[in-house]
Chains A and B, each alone.
Chain A
Amino acid sequence: MRINVTVNGRQYSSDVEPRMLLVHYLRDVLGLTGTHIGCETGVCGACTVLLNGEAVKSCMLFAVQVDGQEITTIEGISQDGQLHPVQQGFWEKHGLQCGYCTPGMILASIQLLKRNPNPTEEEIRHALVGNLCRCTGYQQIVEAVQWAAQKMRGEI
């Protein structure tokens, strides 16, 4: 099937099988390998992308379902060579070790801060329930999101 998708502001037109998952489309067809495949069962959140601005797991959607829609991946959030504030937060607060979960963590955090610019620690943890990290124990991830929230509110 022919689909037309906007990914990170760029238009793509591709022929895909209906059964192709969005995550495979992004990685294998478009070459955007920043979106990771973790559990493949909808639990780990490594494949999180934004669909029309909302965080979704790209292993639980078919590419044909995003025909005519907008996707944002980790590759599309920095602007003019400047890291997104959430990326900066993960840098500043060492919110990662191996980095495997990081793209998903960052996109889920962007979703959170869009809906709630001033989240409590508990709200941050609740918002990241769908993203698993096996390295950090989450503490620095929470601190990274707190840092980003402050940055985005202009307090840093």
Chain B
Amino acid sequence: MFPAPFEYYAPKTLQEALSLLAQHGENAKVLAGGQSLVPLMKLRLSTPAVIIDLNGIAELRYIREEGNYVAIGAMARHYDLETSDLLKRLCPILPECASHIGDVQVRNRGTIGGSLAHADPAADYPAAVLACEGEIKVVDTDGKERVIKATDFFVDLFTTALQPNEIITEIRIPAFAPKTGSAYLKMEQLASGYALCGVAAIVSLDDSVIQDVRVGITGVAPKAYRATGVENALKGQAFNPKTIEQASELAADGINPLEDIHADAEYRAHLAKVLTKRALLKAIERAKV
């Protein structure tokens, strides 16, 4: 399989990349880790005339603490997140989520910025970034920056709020509150590793009362979503497994689940409920430690 011909540019700085994007406009496609885009190009489902490769831009690959959040450069690889001690300490759900992506080779190369921009409905990060109430920082070809809330970022199947003249530069993940536990659970399609359903749950406890709870779900709907029904049913409630089980029944409420040869809509909705329950229980167990 050979992609259609294209012009290739490997800028060394973000500024250079933005100039190239300004010059080539909608003919250009930005290449991050390439673990989705390159296969799409080989299948000729994507035939960009110009590729702007971000892999040489060292300034976009970092994970650092900034105030009350962790700033992750768009070109941080999945392996960087998976092994980051800073994230394990401040937002442990992201390393856990990253460890579920694809395989070692994909995690060595794939990036968080690329994954979010691609917005595959079965990608892992969107569930965790939504549950974390993360933000996505982007910059346009005029150098104008904006910060988009994760809930506003995912628009539809493979569609985000990112404009064609914008590049993601950073993902911001708020540090967990004290007594907070989290878990990412996934049922995957075995050959591809993509999520049939992935659930990210974050729970903050005060004694045994659920102070805050956030649930992000991927793989089920055309875009990852927050299970607000579950969250509202649990906030302020005293923890007991029965309450969790009942609330988890709302995990696919108002959702029109995807269907394909791997899983029908009913099964995906079922997975959302079961994995939500298990993820919540695991998160609560971890919050108690």
Closest B residue to A66 by CB, please name it. Answer: B55
A30-45: contact bitstring with B at CB < 8 Å (1 yes, 0 no)?
Answer: 0000000000111101
- B105: chain A residues at CB < 8 Å are 45, 48, 55-57, 108, 130
Q: Is B260 on the interface with A (CB-CB < 8 A)?
A: no
Tell me, rounded to whole Å, the shortest Cβ–Cβ distance linking B193 to chain A: 7
Q: Is A143 on the interface with B (CB-CB < 8 A)?
A: no
- A108: chain B residues at CB < 8 Å are 104-105
B20-55: contact bitstring with A at CB < 8 Å (1 yes, 0 no)?
Answer: 000000000000001100110110000000010101
- Tell me if B192 and A56 are in contact (CB < 8 A): no
- Tell me if B6 and A18 are in contact (CB < 8 A): yes
- B2: chain A residues at CB < 8 Å are 19, 21
Q: A19-B4, A19-B6, A61-B34 are in contact. Are A56 and B103 (CB under 8 A)?
A: no
- A17: chain B residues at CB < 8 Å are 5
CA distance A55 to B53 in the complex (A): 20
- Tell me if A111 and B4 are in contact (CB < 8 A): no
- Tell me if B1 and A60 are in contact (CB < 8 A): no
Q: Taking each of A18, A41, A67, A112, which has the highest tally of chain B beta carbons within 10 Å of its own beta carbon?
A: A18
A1-24: contact bitstring with B at CB < 8 Å (1 yes, 0 no)?
Answer: 100000000000000011101000
Closest A residue to B79 by CB, please name it. Answer: A54
CA distance A127 to B99 in the complex (A): 11
Q: A18-B51, A60-B38, A65-B55 are in contact. Are A42 and B106 (CB under 8 A)?
A: yes
- Tell me if A40 and B109 are in contact (CB < 8 A): no
- B6: chain A residues at CB < 8 Å are 18-19
- B191: chain A residues at CB < 8 Å are 43
CA distance A111 to B105 in the complex (A): 9
Tell me, rounded to whole Å, the shortest Cβ–Cβ distance linking A19 to chain B: 5
- Tell me if B104 and A62 are in contact (CB < 8 A): no
Q: Is B174 on the interface with A (CB-CB < 8 A)?
A: no
- A45: chain B residues at CB < 8 Å are 103, 105
- B104: chain A residues at CB < 8 Å are 55, 108, 111-112, 127, 129-130
Tell me, rounded to whole Å, the shortest Cβ–Cβ distance linking B45 to chain A: 12
- Tell me if A18 and B108 are in contact (CB < 8 A): no
CA distance A26 to B155 in the complex (A): 40
Closest A residue to B8 by CB, please name it. Answer: A18
Q: Is A71 on the interface with B (CB-CB < 8 A)?
A: no
CA distance A35 to B76 in the complex (A): 27
B residues contacting A by CB (< 8 A) are 1-8, 10, 34-35, 38-39, 41-42, 51, 53, 55, 79, 102-106, 108-109, 191-193
New A-B pairs, 18, CB < 8 Å, besides A19-B6, A40-B42, A62-B8: A18-B8, A18-B51, A21-B42, A41-B39, A41-B42, A43-B191, A55-B104, A55-B105, A57-B105, A57-B106, A57-B109, A60-B109, A61-B34, A64-B53, A112-B104, A129-B193, A130-B105, A130-B106
